């Protein structure tokens, strides 16, 4: 595990796996560290043809806290510096996956370095707009506010769970769990483990990352350029999202005629944790389809 010093702050990152055919980059969302990608890291790092890169965004985890407020464009520049640092600079070698705020960062990233990207997965995210249109639904907003002033980790879990997942799903028995636990029990255990091993987020990081999400705005014309410039774009969302309204995904699709839109029923904001098998399969399929297109002579569409 290593860190990269940018011009004014550090970025913590990890690389897993040794394959060179598929290079995956997972970009996490608001106030969450790269440890949240554990289910994806363990899956893709085991693939002999794959390498996985995860990192902590500025203002969270083990990364630095530059002076805020932050912007999604500035956070995208962080990612580009990281790619340059580790030598991931070839054309069409990156398979970018961004969730929530990470999906906003991924949009800015794709507009800046489209020629390096083979596939792009935008999960439970939005193209943004005016600040007052970027606020989460009331349920999510009130939960975020409570979390800001809740210090005890055990007290955070009951707030986080219904914010990220549908309550009905949380109360169901997990069919793959040998102990017969509910989804809630499994997710709480994972949440407490991640929080325990992660540096507590400073208040300034929380506010600065929130500012990035609230000021995010990628216009339809820019989304159209991204869509035409990347071999495979996949948009995925649920229908029970308390943090980013699913309409954001549909707005992205409306400006991206070449993109694929997938919506899973009874699925919340924590889509990669609620549906890990489906999510991993979607990410892998997107990367394979991109490679097939490139090997078939795909060229960007002139806009």
For the chain, domains (ranges, CATH) are: 2-134+203-295 (3.40.50.1820)
Contact 272, 237 (CB under 8 A): no
CA dist 247 to 14, 101, 212, 236, Å? 33, 15, 20, 11
d(CA 33, CA 56): 5
pLDDT in tens, 187-224: 999 999 999 999 999 999 999 999 999 999 999 999 99
Helix axes 138-148, 153-164, angle to 10 degrees: 170
Q: What is the pLDDT of residues 79-133, one digit of tens each?
A: 999 999 999 999 999 999 999 999 999 999 999 999 999 999 999 999 999 998 8
- Cα–Cα distance between 212 and 184 in angstroms, integer? 30
- Residue pair 53/85 in contact (Cβ under 8 Å)? The answer is no
8 Å CB contact between 48 and 119? no
Rounded to an integer, what distance in angstroms lies between the CA atom of residue 131 and that of residue 71? 12
Tokens encoding 143: 């939960």
Q: How far apart are the C-alpha atoms of 42 and 64, rounded to whole Å?
A: 26
- Over range 223-239, report the average pLDDT: 98
């Amino acid at each position: 595990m290593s860190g990269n010093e940018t011009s004014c702050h550090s970025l913590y990152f990890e690389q897993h796996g040794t394959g060179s055919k598929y290079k995956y980059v997972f970009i996490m969302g608001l106030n969450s560290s790269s440890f949240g990608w554990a289910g994806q890291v363990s899956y893709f790092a085991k693939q002999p043809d794959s390498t996985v890169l995860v990192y902590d965004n500025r203002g969270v985890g083990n990364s630095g806290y530059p002076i805020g407020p932050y912007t999604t464009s500035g956070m995208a520049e962080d990612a580009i510096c990281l790619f340059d640092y580790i030598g991931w600079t070839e054309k069409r070698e990156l398979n970018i996956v961004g969730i929530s705020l990470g999906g906003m960062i991924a949009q800015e990233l794709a507009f800046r370095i489209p020629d390096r990207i083979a596939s792009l997965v935008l999960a439970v995210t939005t193209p943004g707009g005016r600040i007052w249109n970027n606020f989460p639904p009331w349920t999510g907003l009130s939960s975020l506010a409570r979390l800001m002033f809740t210090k005890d980790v055990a007290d955070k879990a009951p707030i986080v769970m219904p914010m990220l997942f549908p309550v009905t799903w949380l109360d169901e028995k997990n069919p793959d769990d040998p102990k017969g636990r509910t989804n809630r029990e499994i997710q709480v255990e994972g949440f407490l483990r991640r929080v325990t091993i992660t540096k507590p987020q400073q208040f300034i990081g929380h506010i600065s990352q929130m500012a990035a999400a609230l000021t995010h705005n990628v216009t339809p014309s820019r989304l159209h350029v991204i869509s035409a410039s990347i071999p495979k774009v996949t948009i995925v969302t649920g229908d029970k999202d308390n943090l980013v309204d699913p309409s954001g995904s549909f707005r992205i699709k409306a400006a991206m005629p070449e993109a694929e839109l997938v919506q899973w029923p009874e699925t919340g904001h924590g889509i990669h944790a609620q549906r890990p098998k489906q999510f991993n399969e979607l990410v892998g399929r997107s990367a394979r389809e991109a490679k097939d297109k490139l090997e078939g002579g795909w060229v960007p569409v002139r806009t």
